[in-house]
Amino acid sequence: MSKQVVPGSVERPLTRQENNPFAFLQQEIDRLFEGFSRNFPAFATVHSAVPQMDVSETDNAIEVTAELPGLEAKDIQVGLVDDVLIVSGEKKSERQEKQMDYHLVERSFGSFSRSVQLPEGVKAEDISAEIAKGVLKVTVKKPAPKQKKQIEIKTAA
């Protein structure tokens, strides 16, 4: 069952879950972790490696924003495979405290990958990405609508 990502859009939805069984699996895994971490707050940080992502649509562009606090451009990759936009990266952090009676070192590492199905015909050169204050904004120009042409049918003599 396909669900439209951007409400009110008259064109085909941005997600094609019926063609991608892994999209449905990813949704179910996300739902499982959300429910699990709600009941066990200590596990909420495990799921926090997956960034929150919003997809919106204007007349001539699709905008994807992702919350990536603490990450810089060098930590993030944005790519296009077929008609799928892929945002991935890795977060590494280390904290060290030294006091007279103790030495604390905490390290955390986590990688993430999110994907969004785009309309057919999107070109990589029509995609731009920028990050500011921990928010990644990816803008995708919509491809020109396909032209419809009526073909005249001639009768054979």
In this prediction, residue 47 carries a pLDDT of: 43
Number of Cβ within 10 Å of residue 15's Cβ equals: 21
Instruction: For 82-115, write each residue's pLDDT tens digit.
Output: 889 999 988 877 778 888 888 888 777 778 889 9
Instruction: For 34-78, write each residue's pLDDT tens digit.
Output: 766 565 554 444 445 678 889 999 988 999 999 988 888 998 999
Selection from 118, 120, 121, 138 nearest residue 129 by Cα? 138
Q: Which CATH code, of 2.60.120.10, 2.60.40.790, 2.40.170.20, 2.30.130.60, is assigned to 17-141?
A: 2.60.40.790
In this prediction, residue 11 carries a pLDDT of: 44
Spatial separation of the C-alpha atoms in residues 62 and 103, rounded to whole Å: 48
Does the pLDDT of residue 18 top 60, yes or no? no
In this prediction, residue 96 carries a pLDDT of: 82
Residues with Cβ within 8 Å of residue 89, at least 6 apart in sequence:
68, 71, 75, 76, 77, 111, 112
In this prediction, residue 65 carries a pLDDT of: 94
Domain boundaries, the chain: 17-141
In this prediction, residue 66 carries a pLDDT of: 92
Does the pLDDT of residue 1 top 80, yes or no? no
Instruction: For 110-153, write each residue's pLDDT tens digit.
Output: 788 899 999 888 888 999 999 999 899 999 998 888 888 899 99
